[in-house]
Amino acid sequence: MRIVIAGMGKLGTMVARTLVSEMHDVTVIDMDSAPLEKLEDLDVLPIKGNAVSIDTLEEADVKHADILISTMRSDECNMLCCIFAKQVGAKYTVARIREPEYLKSMSFVTQELQINYVANPERATAREISRMLRLPFATSGIETFAKGLVEMVEMRVVGDEPFVGKPIADVFKDRQSSSKVLFCGVRRGSESIIPKGDTVIQAGDSVFVTADYASLTTYLRNLGKNSKAARDVIIVGGSRTAYYLADTLNQSGVKTKLIEINQERALYLDEMLEDTTVICADGTDQQLLLSEGLRNTDAFITLTDRDEENLMAGLYATKVCKGRVIVKNSRTSYSGLLSEMGLDSIISPTQIACNIMLRAVRTRIAGEQSGVERIYKIMDGQAEAIEFLVPENADYIGIPLARLTVDADSLVAVIVRGTKVVVPFGSDTVEKGDHVVIMTKRTGLTNLNEVIKA
Amino acid sequence: MNKSLVFSTVGRLMLVVPVLFVPCLIVSLLYADGHALVFLAGICISLAVALPVALLVKPESKQMYTRDGMAIAGLSWILMSVLGALPLVISGICNYIDAFFEIASGFTTTGATIMRDIASLPPSMSFLRCFTHWLGGMGVLVLTTAILPSPNGAGASLAKAESSGPSFSKLLPKVGDNSKLLYLIYTALTLLLVIALKICGMNLFESILHALSTAGTGGFSNQAQSILDYHSTAIDLVISVFMLLFGINFALYFRLLAKEYKTAFKNEEFYLYVGLSAVSVLIIALNIRNLVGGFFPALEHSLFQVGAIISTTGFASADFNTWPNLSKIIILLLMLFGSCAGSTAGGLKLIRVLLLFKLAKREIGKSFAPRKVKVIKLDAKSVPEDLLNRIAVYFFIYIAVIILGVLTLAVSGCTVGESISGAVSCVSNIGPAFERLGPMENYAWLPPVTKIILSLLMIAGRLEIYPLLILFFPSAWRKS
């Protein structure tokens, strides 16, 4: 796959690194030679120039590119770059667009300007945080399928859960409520397992559980896990991410309090966010945080533009606050160190943005000539969750799963029919138009036929 | 430096040597020249040296940086010549130091020889000499990156360390694909030359030998007096043209293949190359017309010799030792300059000469208008200041290395002319020099120590100095 990436900032570099490791032909463009020189150990074709000029795009051979990804600093440049690239001949374009104003006219952007995929790192980060707040038991790896109908979470097994030490087939036989959830992946140390009926879960494993949101919450409450969603949240720093987060939380009825140091920005945020209490103050001031209710809040989230401030405030909060503490930190390489210090809910917008861009690219690559709707890499890339759309005349339609042959390294995780989520059992069938989520350790699957055979 | 990685990679690269001996073995068997066992022994010994290193040394980390790539290039080029010399030693043709010189001269595409009697060499040995030219011309490391997958930027670092020119630029995103493409163009041009020479009346074996030698811009031949022995205008012309072709940046051929004619010829270095060659040919032709009986024979010799020197091949169709001083000085300057970056030729590279002139012009301009700002451009693109800086320093180091060679030759009993021309000839990978090191002479009479130093200078010149220089800096070997 020939991929051109314009703009070699933090995000562009991260995307380039991953795509090179997946053996794609990558060409990178930047205005400055400094970021290009940093890529000397990477097998890419560096081109110095302005990616919003036809000359540079031609030099980068965008004409023959399968995908162009634009991650330059300004939204406008990214849009222009994608439009030009399309004109030159790029087949698929991905742009990073961050401003809320542009996002409101997103359908215009994607349809009229012919940008195939728009990635908004700040909004994606906000959504990720809001999912973490809704499903507090999840350690990480929260993904949604079928337009948000299905959730998948990663949960650490402590050892006192009723399913520990028993084959999965037995666990799900004798529990009523469990029939609505499915264990679709197990991570044991560095090993990834696609569970079968005889797989035994051990203490210390991480289990990936899929189900619809309600079933998942019920199941986890029965397990005794803290599954109470946050009702009251303090956010420090009025960044774009904070705006998107407060907006999302307000919509689901969560009480939000936003602390922003800049008066002008605080006024702007108050104007934009009807239901949020905006406080103009220094969010790293301990007295102020205590007086605003840090002790009893359900969640404390630091989202300023400076990693250092986020960490300081976050570290203080872990000592005082009873609720969850989530910290934004762009320097991903430090996360191990930070979790030793007690901060384990760290969110990196760059990483999240990189993931959504890669997801778009992988989906595009896999979906070019097949029914792949979405691809998620999970368990450090060792397994994939793939969402397929069932085509009209497949030979497996209507036959109970028990009578079909399912690939040994794969698992049918969920079937979504309309708005109904089915966690499949042997007697269930796959029907035309269903969305089927497959967990697999195989790579390069492009068709449901390869997994299920009549 | 990541020593374990450097050694294990060098070990694996050394496996190229036994592979190199295989076609020689085949030639030996075909011509029944009695050296098959020599090559078999060569294969066994080189395998015995390379395999244990390749298999037993386990790199601590596989991440390769530019400096590791340079050290690998420097070390492997020295070792390649050491191992490549085996057949010449085993067969008793010459002693080890002479053989090392000869093979180093082969790989670096210099073409300086210690052989007194080239015509009597067995076919397999002639093939070995010319084949080293061909491999060394485009590069052994480049070849391995074309064949083997290269994770963690290893391929880029290796190809970078071996490629010629002030900045390493790829044509395709993946270094493996890039190397494959270069070798494809290289092989195609070589085959074309074999056919052309065959048509001109050379026999197939000699066509192949001279094609390999020309393609690598080396200069080894199996004739006592090089191309002069054929006394054929057609062969002279064909080789002249192809020598010049192999001195052009291969990116130009790629652009032509990709039908990007505009970008292909938007290349100032190419025009300098053509212009410099044309002017030199003309001046030398006028200068020697009375010596060879008329302007047109003079033009033929002058074209051949300018082609041979500017492309750093070093074939001879005439003995330029007997030419007037003006012609000799032009030849000496062409030796220093060399051809285009990204070709198989050696020398300083014209792109550096061009940028040095632009830099000089700017600095002179600054002396009477100190506040003037001027961005130096090449092919309508601005050249980064640190690149200009590197080129200026490289020029100094290049001259310093040549001076080292001059001093070495001077203490070895050479005249002023021999010392200067010999040192330039070795560092720029030409081969022949003046007087007793001239095109009809050889390097056999020099003392052994001098031969070793010259061999290292040839390798330094081929790898553009730094990869070899880095080996002599203790601080570079420190763990990082």
pTM (two decimals): 0.82
DSSP B58: -
β A206-212/A232-236 pair status: unpaired
Cβ within 8 Å, pair A33-B152: no
Q: Is the dihedral of CA B17, B18, B21, B22 positive or negative?
A: negative
Cβ within 8 Å, pair B65-A27: no
- Rounded-to-integer distance, Cα A381 and Cα A251, Å: 33
Instruction: Report how far apart, in Å, the C-alpha atoms of A207 and of each of A26, A180, A442, B239 are.
Output: 35, 16, 19, 71
What is the identity of the amino acid at B318? A
Residues of A in contact with B64 (CB under 8 A): 41
Instruction: Tell me the nearest-neighbour CA distance from B387 into chain A, angstroms.
Output: 11
User: Which three-class secondary structure state does DSSP give residue A14?
Assistant: helix
CB atoms within 10 A of CB B248: 21
> Is there a contact between A439 and A385 (Cβ–Cβ < 8 Å)?
yes
Strand ranges, E, within B297-443: 377-378, 381-382
Tokens of A112: 């009229």
Tokens of B182: 């270069």
Cβ within 8 Å, pair B156-A40: yes
Residues of A in contact with B63 (CB under 8 A): 41
What is the identity of the amino acid at B146? A
What is the identity of the amino acid at A168? I
Cα nearest neighbour of A18 on chain B: B152
User: Was domain A375-453 assigned CATH 3.30.70.1450?
Assistant: yes
> Is there a contact between B160 and B194 (Cβ–Cβ < 8 Å)?
no
Residue to mutate among A33, A41, A66, A67, with most B CBs inside 10 A, is: A41
DSSP A200: B
Give the homologous superfamily in CATH for domain A232-322: NAD(P)-binding Rossmann-like Domain (3.40.50.720)
Instruction: Tell me the nearest-neighbour CA distance from A383 into chain B, angstroms.
Output: 22
Cα nearest neighbour of B255 on chain A: A59
Instruction: Tell me the nearest-neighbour CA distance from B173 into chain A, angstroms.
Output: 4
Cβ within 8 Å, pair B65-A41: yes
Which residues are paired to B381 by β-bridges? B378
Tokens of B36: 């098959």
Residue A218 CB contacts under 8 Å (≥ 6 apart), including other chains: A177, A180
Chain B residues with a Cβ under 8 Å from any Cβ in chain A: 63-66, 150, 152-153, 155-157, 170-177, 263, 384
Cα nearest neighbour of B263 on chain A: A59
Chain Cα centroid distance, residue A114: 24
> Is there a contact between B311 and B273 (Cβ–Cβ < 8 Å)?
no
Cβ within 8 Å, pair B173-A33: no
Cβ within 8 Å, pair A43-B63: no
> Is there a contact between A289 and A321 (Cβ–Cβ < 8 Å)?
no
Residue to mutate among B172, B174, B379, with most A CBs inside 10 A, is: B174
Cα nearest neighbour of A29 on chain B: B173
Residues of B in contact with A42 (CB under 8 A): 153, 156
Cβ within 8 Å, pair B64-A41: yes
Cα nearest neighbour of A22 on chain B: B151
Strand ranges, E, within B353-469: 377-378, 381-382
Residues of B in contact with A30 (CB under 8 A): none
Instruction: Tell me the nearest-neighbour CA distance from A16 into chain B, angstroms.
Output: 12
Instruction: Tell me the nearest-neighbour CA distance from B389 into chain A, angstroms.
Output: 15
The minimal CB distance from B153 to the residues A42, A45, A59 is found for A42
- Rounded-to-integer distance, Cα A310 and Cα A304, Å: 6
- Rounded-to-integer distance, Cα B109 and Cα B219, Å: 7
β A2-6/A67-70 pair status: parallel
User: Which three-class secondary structure state does DSSP give residue A388?
Assistant: strand
> Is there a contact between B317 and B301 (Cβ–Cβ < 8 Å)?
yes
Each residue's pLDDT, cut to its tens digit, for chain A (454 residues) gives 899 999 998 889 989 988 888 788 999 999 988 888 888 778 889 998 999 999 899 888 899 999 999 999 999 999 999 999 999 899 999 999 888 788 777 777 777 888 888 888 888 888 888 888 877 766 665 677 777 788 888 887 877 788 888 888 777 765 554 457 888 888 887 788 888 878 888 887 888 888 887 787 778 777 776 667 788 899 999 888 999 999 988 888 889 999 999 999 999 999 988 889 999 999 888 899 999 888 888 899 999 988 888 988 998 998 888 888 889 887 766 766 776 777 767 888 888 888 888 888 888 877 665 677 777 777 766 788 888 888 877 788 888 888 888 888 888 888 888 888 888 877 888 888 888 888 888 877 777 888 888 7
Query: Alpha helix locations (H) across A182-330?
Result: 213-222, 240-251, 263-272, 286-291, 307-320
> Is there a contact between B234 and B345 (Cβ–Cβ < 8 Å)?
no
Each residue's pLDDT, cut to its tens digit, for chain B (480 residues) gives 788 889 988 998 999 999 999 999 999 999 999 899 999 999 999 999 999 998 888 888 777 888 888 999 999 999 999 999 999 999 999 999 999 999 999 999 999 999 888 888 999 999 999 999 999 999 988 888 888 776 556 778 888 888 888 877 788 888 888 899 999 999 999 999 999 999 999 999 999 999 999 999 999 999 888 888 888 899 999 999 999 999 999 999 999 998 888 888 889 999 999 999 999 999 999 999 998 888 999 999 999 999 999 999 999 888 888 999 999 999 999 999 999 999 999 999 999 999 999 999 999 999 988 888 889 999 888 888 889 999 999 999 999 999 999 999 999 999 999 999 999 999 999 999 999 998 888 999 999 999 999 999 999 999 999 999 999 888 888 876
Residues of B in contact with A41 (CB under 8 A): 63-66, 152-153, 156-157
Q: What are phi and psi of A262, to 5 degrees?
A: -85, 125
The minimal CB distance from B174 to the residues A33, A43, A59 is found for A43
Write down the domain spans for chain A: 2-119, 126-222, 232-322, 375-453
- Rounded-to-integer distance, Cα A273 and Cα A294, Å: 21
- Rounded-to-integer distance, Cα B428 and Cα B464, Å: 9
Residues of B in contact with A16 (CB under 8 A): none
**B326-358: b (≥16 Cβ within 10 Å) or e:** ebbebbbebbbbbbbbbbbbbbbbbbbbbbbeb
Residues of B in contact with A33 (CB under 8 A): 384
Cα nearest neighbour of A49 on chain B: B381
| ipTM of the shown complex | 0.78
- Rounded-to-integer distance, Cα A118 and Cα B396, Å: 52
Instruction: Tell me the nearest-neighbour CA distance from A63 into chain B, angstroms.
Output: 13
Instruction: Tell me the nearest-neighbour CA distance from A27 into chain B, angstroms.
Output: 6
Give the homologous superfamily in CATH for domain A2-119: NAD(P)-binding Rossmann-like Domain (3.40.50.720)
Cα angle value A364/A367/A371 (rounded, 5°): 155
Residues of A in contact with B157 (CB under 8 A): 40-41
Cα nearest neighbour of A20 on chain B: B174
Cβ within 8 Å, pair A43-B153: yes
* Residues across chain A: 454
Is A375-453 the same fold as A2-119? no
Residue A46 CB contacts under 8 Å (≥ 6 apart), including other chains: A27, A28, A30, A36, A39
Cβ within 8 Å, pair B64-A25: no
The residue written with tokens 């130093």 in the block is B453
What is the identity of the amino acid at A68? L
Cα nearest neighbour of B264 on chain A: A59
β A255-260/A232-236 pair status: parallel
Cβ within 8 Å, pair A41-B63: yes
Instruction: Tell me the nearest-neighbour CA distance from A19 into chain B, angstroms.
Output: 12
> Is there a contact between B3 and B474 (Cβ–Cβ < 8 Å)?
no
Chain A residues with a Cβ under 8 Å from any Cβ in chain B: 2, 25-27, 33, 40-45, 59
Task: Please give the pLDDT value at position A177.
Answer: 47
Query: Alpha helix locations (H) across B111-224?
Result: 123-138, 140-147, 154-162, 175-199, 204-215
Residues of A in contact with B171 (CB under 8 A): 45
Cβ within 8 Å, pair B150-A43: yes
Give the homologous superfamily in CATH for domain A126-222: Regulator of K+ conductance, C-terminal domain (3.30.70.1450)
Tokens of A11: 């995000």
> Is there a contact between B165 and B341 (Cβ–Cβ < 8 Å)?
yes
Chains A, B: CB contacts within 8 A come to 37
